[in-house]
C-alpha cells in the first residue's frame, strides 16, 4: 500500500514539475532566413517541416503572426529586397505560401499585423505616390487602419509613412510628462516608433543629422507599457536593434568599434525590458547570437544553424544552451497558441 | 515605346517577333540532325523570318538610351552582360578585349558585333571547340540560361517573374519587360523613400565608375539608387536603410578588386564593365 502511495506521490510530483515549466510542451513555428518553415516541439526538440517559401536570391525581411478573419492562425512574411508579401496557414490542410496580390504597378512595404481587422497591414505604394497604412482582407478588400491597432516586432518601413511613426520631442514630452526633462534636453530629435505588441510600445530616439568627427553617439529608447502606461527610458552606448515581442522588448546592441561611421558590429550586449519595470535587464552573450524570440522566462537565439535558449527573468539571465541544430538559419520563432485554430 | 537603343538592327524592327510555326529550324530538334544545310541557308531564312538578333550600331557614339529606358541608363550594359557570348580560348590575350578575359578556363567575352542575343546566334556554336551540354542552344532558339531553379530568357534574361511567351520570342517585349523589372527594383529600393545620406560612404568605385549619393560626377546618373537597382536586378540589394535609427547600414556588398576572376566579381562590376566607357 505504501508503495502505491509513494508511486502516486512521485507521479503527482512529476506532473507538478511538468506544469511548473511554462515552456514544456510548447510548440513553435520556426521561420528560416531563406523561407524554410518548421514546426518545433520545445520539449522533445522534434521538428516537422511545414512549407518552404521559394525566395529568388532574396531573404525574409520581416514577419508577423496572428489570426486571420476566419480565426485561422496565419504567418505573414515579406522579403527583404523586393518587398514581396506572402501568407501561410501552418495548420491548414494545404500548407503552401500564398502571395498577397498587389494591383498593377503597386508594391507593399512592411508587414504588420492588424489586431482589430485581423489581417496584414501594409503601406501599399504605387510608384512614388504616398500611401496609407491599409489592411488587406480576403477578397482584396482594403481598410485604412490605425497604427495603434497594429503589432510588429520590427519593421523596415520608413516610419514617416506611418501616422505617428515619427513624433517630435515636444509631442512626446506631452504624452510622457515623466520624461519631459529628457525630451526637452534634445528638442530637435524625433522619436521613432520601433515596434509594438499588445502590451508594449517601443520608441527609438532618432540620431542627430550631423556629428562631429570623433563624437560619441548615444542611443536612447523609451518603452511604454500599454496597459498601465508605465514607461522606462533607457540609454545605451550601443546602437540598438529593437525587437518588441508580446511580453518583453529586446535590444540587440551594435557598436561602431572603429569610430563613428565605421561599420557596425554586434557587441553581444542585450537588454530585456519587462512591462512595468523601471530598469532593463542586461546580458552579454556571443556577439554572433541573434535573438529570434523571447517570452518572460526564456530567450531564444540563433547562431548559424543552431538554436540556443537562455533562461531570463526580471532580475537577471542565465547562460545560453544549445537545444537544436537545423540545416538553415532561423530568422524568427513564433509560439503556437494552445488552441490551434 | 520606341527602341532607339538598338539603332541598327539587321532584322527589320517589325520582324522582332521571331516565332513562326513554319520556321525550318523548329523541326530540327525533332529530326535530331544538325543539318549543315540549314547553317548554309541561315541568312536566307533569317531574312524571311526575322530571327536575327538586334545588333548594336558599330558607330558607337550613336548608342544612347534616349527615351526608351527612362532613368535606367544601365539597361544596355545589363543586356550586354546578360547575353554575352563565349569566345574561343585562342582569342589573343593582347587583343582589345583582353581586359574582359574571365574565368580560369581562359575563355573571354566578346563585345563585338551582335552583342544583344535574344536568340542563340550561329557564331556561338561556330567559335567554340566544345561547350557543355547544358550550355548548348540551337541557332534561332531563344537565348536561355538557368539561374538556380529559375530559367532566364532573352536579352534581359527575364527570370523572376518568369518571362511570358511574348518576352521569350520577341526581343522588343523582352526589353520592355526588363525595363519594367528595373523600374520595379528602382521603386523597391530604400532610396526611393529615404532622403538622408547618414551612414553612406562618400563614393564607391565600380570598375572606374564613381557612384555617389547624389550622382555628382556622373551628371546625376551614377547615384547609389542606380547602383542599388543594378544589384537588385540580379537579386539581393546593395544598400539597406535602418528606419528606426534614421541612417543607412554600411553597404551590404564588398567589392573585390577589378582584376578579379570573372566568377568572383560582383554583379554590379560585371555589368559596369560593359558600360561604353570601357570599350570606346
Task: Classify residue A315: in a domain, yes or no.
Answer: no
Read off the pLDDT of each residue in A14-19 and give the average, rounded to a whole number: 43
Q: Where are the alpha helices (DSSP H) in B189-263?
A: 224-233
Q: Residue B159 and residue A158: Cβ atoms within 8 Å?
A: no
Scan residues 202-261 of B and list those with Cβ closer than 8 Å to A.
232, 234-237, 240-241, 243-247, 249-250
Phi and psi at residue B247, to the nearest 5°: -150, 165
Cβ distance A127 to B198 less than 8 Å, yes or no, reads: no
Residue spans of alpha helices (H) in B83-221:
122-126, 165-169, 171-188
pLDDT single digits (tens) A50-93: 999 988 889 999 999 999 888 889 999 999 998 899 999 998 88
Q: Is the pLDDT of residue B144 over 70?
A: yes
What is the spatial distance between Cα A113 and Cα B191, in angstroms, rounded to a whole number?
A: 25
Interatomic CA distance for residues A11 and B215, integer angstroms:
73
B61-108 pLDDT per residue, tens: 333 444 566 678 888 888 888 876 544 333 444 444 444 433 333 333
- Considering only CB atoms, which chain A residues are within 8 Å of B251? none
Cβ of A161 within 8 Å of Cβ of B193? The answer is: yes
**B95 part of contact set with chain A, CB < 8 Å:** no
Stretch among A208-217, A223-232, B149-158 having the lowest mean pLDDT? A208-217
Pick A263's closest partner by Cβ from B185, B193, B250: B250
Task: Classify residue A338: in a domain, yes or no.
Answer: no
Lowest mean pLDDT among A109-123, A324-338, B49-63: B49-63
For residue B1, the model assigns a pLDDT of: 41
Q: Band of the pLDDT at B171, cuts 50, 70, 90?
A: confident
User: If you average pLDDT over residues B44-63, what whole number do you get?
Assistant: 45
The pLDDT tens digits for A249-290 are 999 988 766 665 566 788 899 999 999 888 899 999 999 999
**Residue A60 in domain:** no
- The pLDDT of residue B95: 44
Across the interface, which of B192, B241, B246 has its CB nearest the CB of A207? B246
Q: Is the model more confident about A242 or about B20?
A: A242
Distance from CA of B107 to the nearest CA of A (A): 27
Q: Is A123 contained in some domain?
A: no
Strand A106-114: give its sheet, edge to edge: A141-144, A133-137, A119-126, A106-114, A150-151
Average predicted confidence (pLDDT) for chain B: 67
Lowest-pLDDT choice from B44-48, B214-218, B271-275? B44-48
Query: Could you tell me which chain A residue has the CA closest to the CA of B197?
Result: A209
pLDDT at residue A259, as a whole number: 61
Q: Count structural domains, chain A.
A: 1
- Name the most confidently modeled range: A209-223, B88-102, B127-141: A209-223
pLDDT at A162: 86
C-alpha cell at A153: 516586432
Give per-residue pLDDT as tens, A95-139: 899 999 888 778 888 999 999 999 999 998 876 566 778 998 877
pTM, full prediction: 0.78
**Which residues, at least 6 apart from B156, have a Cβ–Cβ distance to it below 8 Å?**
B75, B78, B79, B82, B174, B175, B177, B178, B181
Residue A201 lies in a domain: yes
The answer to whether position A226 is within a domain reads: yes
Tens of pLDDT, residue by residue over A300-317, are 999 999 999 999 999 999
Q: Which of A56, A127, A155 sits opposite B160 (nearest CB)?
A: A56
User: Does residue B70 belong to the interface with chain A, where contact is any CB pair within 8 Å?
Assistant: no
DSSP state of B99: G
Out of A57, A154, A161, the one facing B235 most closely (by C-beta) is A57
- pLDDT-derived band at B27 (thresholds 50, 70, 90) equals very low
Domain definitions of chain B by residue range? 13-163, 189-278
The answer to whether residue A277 sits within a structural domain is: yes
Please, are residues B139 and B133 in contact by the beta-carbon 8 Å criterion? no
The boundaries of the domain holding residue A183 are: 164-284
Q: Would the pLDDT of B20 be above 50?
A: no
Do the chains contact at A83 and B232, CB–CB below 8 Å? no
8 Å CB contact of A156 and B241: yes
Amino acid at each position: 500500500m505504501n508503495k502505491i502511495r509513494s508511486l502516486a506521490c512521485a507521479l503527482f510530483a512529476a506532473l507538478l514539475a511538468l506544469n511548473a515549466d511554462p515552456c514544456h510542451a510548447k510548440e513553435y513555428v520556426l521561420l528560416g532566413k531563406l523561407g524554410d518553415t518548421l514546426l518545433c516541439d520545445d520539449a522533445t526538440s522534434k521538428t516537422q517541416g511545414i512549407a518552404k517559401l521559394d525566395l529568388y536570391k532574396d531573404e525574409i525581411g520581416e514577419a508577423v503572426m496572428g489570426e486571420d478573419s476566419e480565426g485561422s492562425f496565419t504567418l505573414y512574411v515579406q522579403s527583404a529586397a523586393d518587398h514581396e508579401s506572402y501568407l501561410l496557414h501552418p495548420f491548414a490542410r494545404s500548407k503552401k505560401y500564398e502571395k498577397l496580390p498587389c494591383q498593377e504597378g503597386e508594391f507593399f512595404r512592411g508587414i504588420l499585423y492588424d489586431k482589430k481587422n485581423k489581417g496584414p497591414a501594409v503601406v501599399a505604394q504605387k510608384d512614388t505616390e504616398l500611401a496609407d497604412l491599409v489592411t488587406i482582407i480576403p477578397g482584396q478588400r482594403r481598410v485604412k487602419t490605425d497604427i495603434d491597432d497594429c503589432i510588429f516586432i520590427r519593421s523596415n518601413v520608413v516610419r514617416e509613412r506611418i501616422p505617428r511613426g515619427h513624433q517630435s520631442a515636444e509631442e512626446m514630452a506631452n504624452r510622457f510628462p515623466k520624461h519631459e526633462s529628457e525630451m526637452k534636453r534634445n528638442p530637435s530629435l524625433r522619436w521613432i516608433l520601433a515596434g509594438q505588441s499588445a502590451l508594449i510600445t517601443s520608441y527609438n530616439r532618432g540620431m542627430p543629422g550631423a556629428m562631429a568627427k570623433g563624437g560619441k553617439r548615444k542611443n536612447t529608447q523609451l518603452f511604454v507599457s500599454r496597459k498601465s502606461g508605465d514607461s522606462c527610458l533607457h540609454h545605451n552606448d550601443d546602437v540598438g536593434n529593437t525587437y518588441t515581442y508580446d511580453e518583453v522588448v529586446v535590444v540587440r546592441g551594435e557598436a561602431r568599434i572603429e569610430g563613428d561611421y565605421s561599420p557596425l558590429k554586434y557587441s553581444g550586449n542585450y537588454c530585456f525590458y519587462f512591462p512595468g519595470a523601471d530598469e532593463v535587464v542586461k546580458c552579454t552573450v556571443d556577439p554572433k547570437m541573434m535573438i529570434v524570440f523571447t517570452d518572460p522566462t526564456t530567450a531564444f537565439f540563433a547562431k548559424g544553424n543552431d538554436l540556443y535558449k537562455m533562461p531570463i527573468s526580471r532580475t537577471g539571465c542565465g547562460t545560453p544552451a544549445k537545444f537544436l541544430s537545423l540545416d538553415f538559419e532561423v530568422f524568427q520563432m513564433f509560439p503556437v497558441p494552445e488552441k490551434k485554430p | 515605346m520606341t527602341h532607339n537603343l538598338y539603332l541598327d538592327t539587321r532584322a527589320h524592327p517589325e520582324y522582332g517577333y521571331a516565332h513562326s510555326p513554319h520556321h525550318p529550324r523548329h523541326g530540327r530538334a525533332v529530326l535530331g540532325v544538325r543539318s549543315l544545310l540549314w547553317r548554309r541557308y541561315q541568312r536566307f531564312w533569317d531574312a524571311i523570318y526575322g530571327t536575327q538578333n538586334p545588333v548594336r550600331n558599330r558607330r558607337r557614339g550613336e548608342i544612347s538610351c534616349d527615351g526608351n529606358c527612362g532613368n535606367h541608363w544601365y539597361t544596355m550594359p545589363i543586356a550586354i552582360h546578360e547575353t554575352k557570348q563565349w569566345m574561343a580560348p585562342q582569342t589573343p590575350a593582347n587583343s582589345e578585349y583582353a581586359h574582359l578575359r574571365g574565368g580560369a578556363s581562359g575563355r573571354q567575352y566578346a563585345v563585338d558585333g551582335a552583342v544583344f542575343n535574344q536568340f542563340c546566334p550561329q557564331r556561338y556554336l561556330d567559335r567554340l571547340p566544345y561547350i557543355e551540354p547544358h550550355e548548348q542552344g540551337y541557332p534561332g532558339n531563344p537565348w536561355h540560361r538557368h539561374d538556380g531553379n529559375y530559367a532566364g530568357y532573352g536579352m534581359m534574361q527575364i527570370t523572376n517573374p518568369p518571362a511570358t511567351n511574348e518576352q521569350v520570342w520577341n526581343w522588343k517585349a523582352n526589353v520592355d519587360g526588363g525595363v519594367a523589372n528595373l523600374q520595379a527594383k528602382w521603386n523597391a529600393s530604400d532610396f526611393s523613400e529615404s532622403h538622408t545620406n547618414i551612414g553612406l560612404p562618400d563614393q564607391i568605385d565600380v570598375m572606374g565608375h564613381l557612384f555617389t549619393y547624389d550622382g555628382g560626377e556622373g551628371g546625376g546618373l551614377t547615384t547609389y539608387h542606380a547602383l542599388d537597382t543594378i544589384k537588385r536586378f540580379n537579386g539581393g540589394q546593395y544598400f539597406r536603410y535602418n528606419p528606426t535609427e534614421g541612417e543607412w547600414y554600411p553597404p551590404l556588398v564588398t567589392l573585390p578588386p577589378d582584376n578579379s576572376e570573372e566568377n568572383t566579381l560582383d554583379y554590379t562590376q560585371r555589368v559596369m564593365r560593359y558600360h561604353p566607357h570601357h570599350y570606346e
